């Protein structure tokens, strides 16, 4: 079971920033999970929220704000950390070590993704990172577009716990997932994990900071565990073992 740092080591550094990804490396994570979206000037940036009210106390919508302006947003101080900025996806890829697994979540709740899936496919392919990257999304249209642009890139469907389980798990997952399925950890049971593994899918669960729950999930046979606290979780797992 690999430990992926959720938006970087987001308990100890501002989420989805270069500081958070550096902290994930320092804490000994096996990789990171991050959020990618297209900003108003067309670049792919790493940010979770559609608007910056929570992250920067600014009423800016990321998809309509150009990158030069987004760079002025402090997304560290409002979260209780040192000032930090929103990075480009390419900057993050540059900063991560060669052994890291990278789970890129395509963030788009709209029919039109602004070219997000194609841009991420082109970037990952151009950089020769296909063996280290898993691309996930709650939006099946994004994964369809990714498959059309780069059929060999590894895709994983994110299952939304606030939507009906059956259509997501039994219809959309087989249609759009080529590598993995990404459920909320509370949705995992031994039977479901076994069924996914039997179907050839790895299971990536989110978001787990409890060593006890992590051990339960590891025993079920999950492959990737996404956590806010990679160092503390790994130490907890070692103590439990």
The token pair that represents 158 in the structure block:
């994110």
Rounded (to 5) percent helix, strand, coil in the chain: 40, 20, 40
- What pLDDT sits at residue 39? 98
Instruction: Give the predicted TM-score (pTM) of the model.
Output: 0.98
CA dihedral over 72, 77, 83, 86, signed as positive or negative:
negative
Give the separation between CA 221 and CA 194, rounded to whole angstroms.
7
Q: Where does the pLDDT of residue 240 fall: very low under 50, low under 70, confident under 90, or very high at 90 and above?
A: confident
Looking at residue 57, its pLDDT comes to 98
Query: Does position 16 have pLDDT exceeding 80, yes or no?
Result: yes
Q: Give the pLDDT mean for 78-97.
A: 98
Mean pLDDT for the stretch of residues 119-139: 98
- The dihedral formed by the CA atoms of 224, 33, 11 and 218, expressed in degrees to the nearest 10: 0
| CATH number reported for the structural domain that contains residue 171 in this entry | 3.20.20.190
Residues in the chain: 241
Contact 183, 205 (CB under 8 A): yes
Average pLDDT over residues 16-39: 98
**β-strand 180-182 against 224-227: which pairing, if any?**
unpaired
Q: What is the average pLDDT value for the chain, to the nearest integer?
A: 97
CA-nearest of 91, 158, 90 to 126 is: 90
How confident is the model at residue 232, as a pLDDT?
97
The reported pLDDT for the residue numbered 161 is 97
Total of domains in the chain: 1
Asked if 169 and 190 count as a contact pair (C-beta separation under 8 A), the reply is no
* pLDDT recorded at residue 241: 75
Q: Which helix (H) or strand (E) holds 125?
A: helix 116-126
* pLDDT (average), residues 123-138: 98
Look at residue 219 in the predicted model and tell me its pLDDT: 97
157-213 per-position pLDDT tens digit: 999 999 999 999 999 999 999 999 999 999 999 999 999 999 999 999 999 999 999
pLDDT tens, 60-86?
Answer: 999 999 999 999 999 999 999 999 999
Q: Mean per-residue pLDDT for 9-13?
A: 98
Number of neighbouring beta carbons within 10 Å of residue 104: 26
Per the structure, the complete domain to which residue 102 belongs is given by 2-240
Residue environment code for 189-209, b if the CB has 16+ CB neighbours within 10 A, otherwise e? eeebbeebbeeebbbbbbbbb
């Amino acid at each position: 079971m690999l430990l992926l740092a959720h938006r970087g080591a987001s308990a100890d550094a501002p989420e989805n920033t270069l500081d958070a990804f550096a902290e994930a490396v320092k804490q000994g994570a096996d990789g990171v999970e991050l959020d990618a979206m297209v900003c108003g000037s067309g670049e792919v940036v790493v940010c979770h929220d559609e608007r910056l009210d929570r992250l920067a106390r600014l009423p800016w919508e990321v998809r309509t704000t150009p990158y030069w302006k987004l760079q002025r947003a402090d997304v560290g101080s409002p979260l209780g950390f040192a000032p930090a900025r929103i990075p480009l996806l390419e900057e993050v890829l540059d900063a991560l070590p060669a052994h890291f697994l990278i789970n890129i979540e395509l963030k788009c709740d709209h029919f039109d993704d602004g070219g997000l899936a194609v841009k991420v496919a082109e970037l990952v392919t151009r950089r020769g990172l296909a063996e280290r990257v898993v691309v996930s999304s709650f939006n099946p249209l994004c994964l369809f577009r990714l498959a059309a642009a780069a059929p060999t890139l590894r895709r994983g469907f994110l299952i939304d716990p606030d939507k009906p389980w059956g259509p997501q798990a039994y219809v959309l997952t087989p249609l759009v997932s080529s590598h993995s399925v990404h459920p909320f950890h509370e949705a995992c049971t031994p039977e479901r994990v076994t069924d996914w593994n039997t179907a050839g899918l790895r299971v990536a669960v989110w978001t787990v900071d409890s060593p006890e729950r992590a051990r339960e999930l590891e025993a079920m046979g999950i492959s990737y565990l996404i956590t806010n606290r990679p160092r503390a979780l790994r130490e907890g797992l070692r103590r439990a073992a």
